[in-house]
Structures are given as structure tokens and as C-alpha cells.
Amino acid sequence: MAYGGDMGRPRGFDEDEAVRAAVTLFGRQSFAGTSVDDLVSHLGVHRGSLYKTFGSKRGLYLAALRQHVDRDVTAAAEVFAAATDVDEAVRRITDAGPDLGLLLLALVERAPVDPEVAAETTRALARLRDARGELDRALGLLLRTRATGSAPEFVGE
Amino acid sequence: MAYGGDMGRPRGFDEDEAVRAAVTLFGRQSFAGTSVDDLVSHLGVHRGSLYKTFGSKRGLYLAALRQHVDRDVTAAAEVFAAATDVDEAVRRITDAGPDLGLLLLALVERAPVDPEVAAETTRALARLRDARGELDRALGLLLRTRATGSAPEFVGE
DNA sequence: TAGCTTCTGGACTACAGGGTCCAATCAAGG
DNA sequence: CCTTGATTGGACCCTGTAGTCCAGAAGCTA
């Protein structure tokens, strides 16, 4: 009766992949704007499995945000480190780089009211700051790019 | 039978005041995160009057956003114009100035999916740009301030 | 194959969501 | 003072919502 803990039917979906899909959804539609039905149909994960794995919609959101910070934000930080200036880096990111929508949304929508989200966004910002000094200008550019749907005129200073 | 158009019982609530309360709510809880019940109970406006006056939740949101741009964003622009540098201006705004939460939220949450919202946010940004060059840095600072709940360390460049 | 644990399909619950409607009430003009 | 048209309280509708549950299938271990 000493199980290795991996008994029974194995998971039929790739958790990492599912979480990634959640990143996309939450990053596009916000937390409140994304329903569990949305998630279920887009992640390809059964409702029951979703609740068993993540506990709640918020649990999945936190998992998504963590992965987002670890993967996409980290990738963005590398772009900043490699680029010659902030404008160039932001252009690269919004062009073909990682989608930072979830981070922006988390900062404005959830961080102010959810301490665990705030902790993650703080982690994200720290990671970005390590890479470059002009964090705020980068954030502003990303914000405007998301809002207008395309690259705004890059007004220098 | 030629009415001036102002017949019947006059409005029992101050529309401007109601919209202002909506600005606060939407600015704190986002569009999707604010229910019509929330609005009804906080604005002190009857459900029926609300729908008669604004047509829909989205209609009220747009009205709120417009007032926000005309009032709060304009006020912020004046602070920028008066201050000596961006950091100082942002500190003033987040300290006791107008709350720009709705603008930030609209930029990230609604502008990407609602053209009319995008139009308003564009108007807001234009108004801010008129006042000062370092728009992006200001936006980044405001974002971080909102996310952390207090003024972040003002890292220079 | 037997036994065990987990997954899956989908029904289900209880409630919150946006939006509508009505009868009663009220203030203004004529 | 009576008509008029808007306001109000609150019930109401239908859909969407987050979350639960069960019966059966499906793997893994032995």
C-alpha cells in the first residue's frame, strides 16, 4: 500500500500548456471579464479537472500570472538587456516578443485589491528593473501600445 | 401643446454627481468588475432612471470616462504643466490630486476592445502630452503607484 | 485480470448578472 | 386643480456565473 503518489489515471492534459492558454485569455479579457466557461472551452481542460488542479478561478489566475512572470516577463527582460535603447526594446516586444498583456492588466486591475497578485507584479517589476533603468518609460510605452492597438508615435523627450 | 421639453417631474438627482460616483466605482473595480447593482446603490440613482438616462451599463461607463477625461485628466495635465519635473508632478497627483484610476483601467481593459473607449483614451493622452513631454515615464509611475498602493521608489534613469 | 485512483462528460445548484416593466407618485404647465 | 410626462420603488425575466457532484471510462500497478 505504499504508493509512489502517481497512481490512477494520469493527467490527460498538459498543465503548463493549459496555464499558458489561461495567460492569453486573462491577458486579453481581464480577470473579471473571463468566465470559467471561457477557460474550460479554450484550455481544453474539463471543468472538474480545472477545479481539482487549481482550486478556483482565482487559483488558476495566480498560476497563470506566475507562469507569465517566469516566462514572458523574463523573456521581455532579456530583450531589454539586449536592445540598445528602451524604444527599440519595446518595439521588439510589441512586434513579435512576448505578450505582456496579463502583466499590465494585473498591475491595474488586480494588484490593488489582491495582495498575492501584488506580490507577483512586484516580482515582475523587479525582474524588469534588473534589466534596464528606464522602467517607467517602458511601461508607459507598453500601455499606450496596448491601448491603441498599434505602436504609438514614439515621442522622445 | 408646445412644450419646452421640460415637462413632467424634474430629475431628482444630479447627473454630474452621479457620473462622478460612477467614475470612482469604475476606476476602482474596472468595468467588468462593477455590477449595475453596485452602481445603483452607490450613485443614489434608481435603476430605471439610470437606464433611461444612460441607456446601458456601457453608456454610463462612457459618460463616466468622458467626464473623467474632461475633469480629472485635465486637472492632472495642469499639475504637469505647473510642476518642475515629472516625478514631482506624479507625486502631487497620487498624493492629493485627481484619481486617474479610470484612465489607467480604460487604457488596459477597455480601449483594446471598445473603439469608443479608445477614442476617449486617445483624447486623454493627447491632453496629457500637451502638458509635458515625458508622458510615458509619467504613465509608468502612475501605473506602479496604483499597483503597489503607495509611491514606489522613484528610480531615476 | 484485478484493484486502485484519477480523469471525463455533463448535469446540476444557487446566485449574481444586465436589462425590462409596472403601478404609484410627484412636480411642473395650462 | 387637472393634465402631463418624468421619476421612483421594487418586482421580475432570462441568461451567465462560479462552483459541485456523480456515474462511468481510463490508465497505471501489481
Nucleic strand D contact set for B 7-36 (CB, < 7 Å): 7-13
SS3 B148: helix
User: Do B116 and A147 contact (CB within 8 A), yes or no?
Assistant: no
Count of CA atoms in the C-beta half-sphere (13 A) of B55: 5
Q: Give residue-wise pLDDT tens across range A26-70.
A: 999 999 999 999 999 999 899 999 999 999 999 999 999 999 999
Tell me, what amino acid is at A132?
R
Report the greatest alpha carbon distance in chain A: 69
SS3 B112: coil
For chain B, what percentages of helix, strand and coil (3-state, to nearest 5) are there? 70, 0, 30
CA of B84 to C1' of C15 (A): 53
Nearest CA in chain B to A137: B137
Q: Which three cell numbers stand for residue A121?
A: 507584479
Query: Chain A contacts of B33, Cβ < 8 Å?
Result: 30-32, 109
Give the Cβ contact number of residue B25 at 10 Å. Answer: 22
Confidence of residue A13 (pLDDT cuts 50, 70, 90): confident
Confidence of residue A11 (pLDDT cuts 50, 70, 90): confident
Q: Cα(A91)–Cα(B31) distance, rounded to whole angstroms?
A: 29
